């Protein structure tokens, strides 16, 4: 209860989740709280990135100096934040940013923007930025990343409610980048 967090109270009132976070003892026998399921942490991280951009026009995915320079000399858009997220997810060796990226992209949908109105101080039309992000993701798919990364990018298009998703998957399959025996059953399921 040091930080005002009562683990038992949180689990009682959580409703859907029987346990949101867990109390553990860290390296130096101090209490550490962690999320039982990483998707909660990834969603909160995406929400933080999105809200920081919307409220402060700051891209926390960029190093501070670069972000300050970009704010001084150009107007950064949510699409710039998305592109940075896509690039970082593609550079990730183990896919640890995949779900974060999907959450981040999903937050920019108009339906979610309406829900976020109460905590966003400045709003902007997201349809043009989303189209720019969709175009960028399609470019990245055509650059032939690994099968796992391509599948994640297809999921990203789905999160952006892109209706050409089926065409993109068909194009990818017909391009010859994918052989019948290359995919596991879980990968085929994702496709």
**Within this chain, do residues 24 and 65 fall inside the same structural domain, yes or no?**
no
**Within this chain, do residues 57 and 150 fall inside the same structural domain, yes or no?**
yes
* Number of structural domains the chain divides into: 2
Q: Are strands 31-35 and 21-25 parallel, antiparallel or unpaired?
A: antiparallel
Q: Which domain holds residue 27?
A: 1-36
* Whole-number Å distance between alpha carbons of 28 and 184: 42
pTM comes to 0.74
Query: Could you report the per-residue pLDDT of 89-131, keeping only the tens digit for each?
Result: 999 989 999 999 999 999 999 888 888 888 877 666 667 789 9
**Within this chain, do residues 29 and 45 fall inside the same structural domain, yes or no?**
no
* Whole-number Å distance between alpha carbons of 135 and 129: 10
Per-residue confidence in pLDDT tens, the chain, 191 aa: 455 656 566 555 554 444 555 666 666 666 666 777 788 889 999 999 999 998 888 889 987 666 566 666 678 889 999 999 999 999 998 999 999 999 999 999 988 888 888 887 766 666 778 999 999 999 998 887 788 898 899 899 999 998 777 777 677 677 766 655 566 665 666 66
**Within this chain, do residues 136 and 158 fall inside the same structural domain, yes or no?**
yes
């Amino acid at each position: 209860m040091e930080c005002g967090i009562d683990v038992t109270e949180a689990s009682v009132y959580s409703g859907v989740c029987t346990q949101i976070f867990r109390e553990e003892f860290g390296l130096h026998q101090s209490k550490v709280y962690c999320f039982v399921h990483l998707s909660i942490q990834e969603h909160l991280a995406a929400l933080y990135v999105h809200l920081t951009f919307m409220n402060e026009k700051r891209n926390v995915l960029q190093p501070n100096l670069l972000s300050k320079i970009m704010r001084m000399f150009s107007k950064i858009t949510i699409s710039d934040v998305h592109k940075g997220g896509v690039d970082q997810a593609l550079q990730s060796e183990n896919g640890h940013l995949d779900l974060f990226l999907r959450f981040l992209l999903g937050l920019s949908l108009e339906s979610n923007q309406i829900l976020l109105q109460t905590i966003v101080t400045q709003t902007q039309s997201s349809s043009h930025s989303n189209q720019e992000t969709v175009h960028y993701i399609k470019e990245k798919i055509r650059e032939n990343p690994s099968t796992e990364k391509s599948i994640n990018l297809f999921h990203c298009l789905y999160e952006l409610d892109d209706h050409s998703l089926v065409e993109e998957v068909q194009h990818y399959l017909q391009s010859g980048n994918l052989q019948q025996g290359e995919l596991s059953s879980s990968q085929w399921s994702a496709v």
